[in-house]
Chains A and B, each alone.
Chain A
Amino acid sequence: MAEKNIYDAAVNQTAKDAYFTASQGQLIWTRFKKQKAAMVGAWVLVILILSGIFAPFLTPYDPTIAGRDKDYLNGAPTVPQFCDDNGCSLRPFIYALERERSAKTNFRWVTTVNTDKRQYVQFFVEGSEYKYFGIPFDTHLFGIEDGYIHLFGTDSTGKDIFSRTFHAINTSLAVGTIGVFIAFVLALIIGGISGFYGGWVDSFIQMVTDAVRTIPAIPLFMALAAFIPATWSAEERFFFISIILGFIGWPTLARRVRTHLLTERNQEYVLAAQLCGASSGHVIRKHLLPSFTSYIIVDLVISFPYMVLSETALSFIGLGLKDPVNSLGVMLQNVTSADVLLNYQWYFIPVIFFIVLVMAFVFVGDGLRDAADPYGDTKK
């Protein structure tokens, strides 16, 4: 009996030790794992990010005009199936599409589905070439031998919407990442100076930050995006948009950094380090930065969906990325006609991906914020 007590106490002690010696990251992770919604969000997010990164492999076709299916414009999704009237097969198949123009069709091209002819879905097929780290690959996860497979249908130029969607996730995430990174660096420098030095430097910087914050961001975006000369290539536009997003996103982050630094720099441990003769640089690097890296990461995750949203909003009104580029905003722009709603509903499929992506980010961001709050457990 007594032995068991000692054993329990030891286990308790280990748990306590683990708790008290855990780094901030570990503590946040432990609390984060407890939140079901945030964990689901995190999984969805990881899957979406990976599918964005591996888009060229996961999707059967090149999302540009090179990979278009010129015989199947505005085509409905071809959904693979296992069974039909002619029996079942283990390998999923789609029906062959036949295109004809004759007196019967009033001399227009008409695409018909031939339900008697099956085309089986193949895995790891060879297709258009793509590169990772400069090494060319041409294997795609799935495809069919001859003809095309369009899981989400095609758009008005015959580009595969499935391929476009996955490449769009990649682009939108890249824009967001660059934007967040620039905003982060600016926020760290400006907020850092403001918070570390305090006094009149702080007051002045805060005044400027507040002024920048009162300008509505989207109208300002539009003013900046209007600078882009029409002659710029898609890549130049892409980088310019990301940079603009970064330059407008910094004030909120800078404020958080500053507030945190202002409270931390008056803590006893900073005073202790200073009394020991540590230089400003040392205090910042060794004491202040580690004290709030986790909070900054949380803030970055929270600000990410707004970057993606801003990109879509800009592209949507035609000031951001434009059609040959695949971004979620461009995909959303394509749904803006009554024709789409009435006849080509599959254009809306990327919208679902967009909403899921933003939702996943918001859930993870919220979960992280709760997890990073050191008083989160004591409340309620």
Chain B
Amino acid sequence: MIQFLRFATIRAALAFFTLCLVSFIVFSLMELVPGDCAERYLAFKNSQGAQISIADIEAERVRLGLDRPFFERWVKWISGAFQGEFGDSCILRLNINQLLGQKVWLSIGICLGSLLVAYSIAIPVGIIAATSRNPFLNNSLRLVSYLGLALPNFLLALMIMLFSTVMFGNSLTGLFSPEYRDAPWDWGRIKDFLSHVWLPVFILGWSATAFAIQTVRALMSDEISKLYVTAAAARGVSGRKLLMRYPARHALSPIINSLGFDLNRIFNELPIVALILTLTEAGSLLIEALARSNDQQLAGAIIFFLTGSIVAINFITDIVLALVDPRIRRSILG
């Protein structure tokens, strides 16, 4: 138990370190963008008719703490970030938490949903692909999963959207119907949400499934050719029982391990899909922040959230693996 706690603490410390490093990278990038908050704020005031001098900009800088050294500001930012406080966006002049609100959770929810869909398809299909000797089935599965790689999600989203606009007059975009957009969560809103959310989940799950099938297939075919499977078969275990009790259990742990990177890949695709489907969640806000208004604070906060959830998933999968996989459990418990 003590060893396990030690393992968990080391993992948690590593996750914390990763987050700090990531936040440092993100923060430095934000700093590199030309122009800072003070200049922007005063440029805005200037456009409203006020006369602005260099001294005003300097005073504003002091007020916002931008005259402090880089490292100090980073420490301040990161300690705020861990308390869930990102300050104000200097373009929209609103508190970032208020801006993001539940949008981050919606995004993370959509991505986790796609991951779930991807693996609930990929695990059975991948196992079948690895065990089947039918060349036609294998080749067609291969083609489908290659298509999943080669047909970018944004293109797929675009095609589906345009197609449904032309065919059904319904563009399938957004996450809520207009009447539910700002409504509090209740049964009607949940139903409305589910009737919209399936499309982004499907589109994001599309290429994730293709990747996942490849992984599951490769892992299963590695395990199946191992001697312990032959030995089990020789003892008379056969069929589904043989697969489930031996190679599938072994192949499972690398799959759990790769979940974090799959989530990463889905996050990559989320903003672009969100842009096309005009989803009102963090992904499209990120594009808005980066491409349209160059809002560093907002962009930094969103990237921090996304990375944070990946680090969290990695941490959870490590712990789950340590609990589930006897090999890792033994190596920890000595």
Give the residue of A223, A224, A362 whose beta carbon is less than 8 angstroms from that of B146. A362
Cα A351 to Cα B156 in complex, Å, equals 11
What total of chain A residues lie within 8 Å of the partner, measured CB to CB?
44
Among the 9-residue stretches B87-95, B236-244, B268-276, the one with 4 or more Cβ atoms under 8 Å from chain A is B268-276
Q: Interface code A214-226, partner B: CB below 8 Å = 1, 0 otherwise? A: 1111111011111
- B interface bracket (residues with beta carbon within 8 Å of A): 35 or more
Is A313 interfacial (CB-CB < 8 Å)?
yes
Contacts A313-B272, A342-B166: A219 and B267 contacting too (C-beta < 8 A)? Answer: yes
| Interface locus among A24-32, A101-109, A203-211 | A203-211
Bound together, the chains give a CA A215 to CA B22 distance in angstroms of 7
Interface contact A208-B303, CB-CB below 8 Å: no
25 contacts between A and B (CB under 8 A): A37-B139, A211-B21, A211-B22, A212-B25, A213-B264, A214-B22, A215-B22, A218-B267, A218-B268, A219-B268, A219-B306, A223-B30, A223-B290, A226-B299, A227-B32, A313-B152, A313-B269, A316-B272, A317-B272, A318-B291, A332-B155, A335-B158, A338-B165, A342-B166, A351-B155
Q: Does B154 contact A (CB under 8 A)?
A: yes
Q: Does B197 interact with chain A (Cβ within 8 Å)?
A: no
A280 proximity list for chain B (CB < 8 A): none
Taking Cβ atoms with an 8 Å cutoff, the residues of B that contact A are 14, 17-18, 21-22, 25-26, 29-30, 32-34, 139, 142, 146-147, 149-152, 154-155, 158, 162-163, 165-166, 221, 225, 260-261, 264, 267-269, 271-272, 275-276, 286-287, 290-291, 294, 299, 302-303, 306-307, 310-311, 314
Q: A37-B139, A223-B29, A229-B34 are in contact. List 14 more A-B contacts (CB 8 A).
A: A207-B18, A208-B21, A210-B18, A213-B264, A214-B260, A214-B311, A226-B290, A227-B33, A313-B269, A313-B272, A317-B272, A317-B275, A332-B155, A366-B146
Instruction: Report A298-340 CB contacts with B as 1/0, cut-off 8 Å.
Output: 0000000100010011001111000000000000100110100
Given A215-B307, A317-B272, do A380 and B29 touch, yes or no (CB 8 Å)? no
Top 9 nearest A-B pairs (CB, nearest first) are A216-B267, A358-B150, A218-B268, A211-B21, A359-B150, A341-B162, A222-B290, A211-B18, A226-B290
Which residues on A sit within 8 Å (CB–CB) of B150? 305, 355, 358-359, 362
How far apart sit A305 and B146, CA to CA, in the bound complex (Å)?
12
Hey, which chain B residues are within 8 Å of A362, CB to CB?
Answer: 146, 149-150
Task: Out of A226, A332, A338, name the residue touching B166 (CB < 8 Å).
Answer: A338
Complex CA distance for A312 and B26, rounded to whole angstroms: 23
Q: Is A363 an interface residue when CB atoms closer than 8 A count as contact?
A: yes
Cross-chain contact A219 with B302 (CB below 8 angstroms): yes
Query: Which of the listed residues B14, B154, B221 has the most CB atoms from chain A within 10 Å of its own CB?
Result: B154
Taking a contact as CB atoms under 8 Å apart, the answer to whether B147 and A214 are in contact is no
Q: Are B17 and A363 in contact (CB under 8 A)?
A: no
Instruction: Please give the distance in Å from A11's CB to the nearest CB on chain B.
Output: 31
Q: How far is the CB of A222 from chain B (nearest CB, A)?
A: 5
Question: A379 at interface (Cβ–Cβ under 8 A)?
Answer: yes
Residue pair A341, B149 in contact (C-beta under 8 Å):
no
How would residues 355 to 367 of chain A score, 1 for a CB under 8 Å from any chain B CB and 0 otherwise?
1001100110010
| B18 contact set on A, CB distance < 8 A | 207, 210-211, 214
Q: Which chain B residues border A355 with CB–CB below 8 Å? A: 150-151
Whether B158 pairs with A216 at a CB distance below 8 angstroms is no
Taking the closest CB of chain B, its distance from the CB of A363, in whole angstroms, is 7
User: B310 — which chain A residues lie within 8 A by C-beta?
Assistant: 214, 216
Which residue of chain B lies nearest to A336 when distances are taken between CB atoms in the complex?
Answer: B158
Report A-chain residues with C-beta under 8 Å of the C-beta of B307.
214-216
Which residues of chain B come closer than 8 Å to A211, judged between CB atoms?
17-18, 21-22, 25
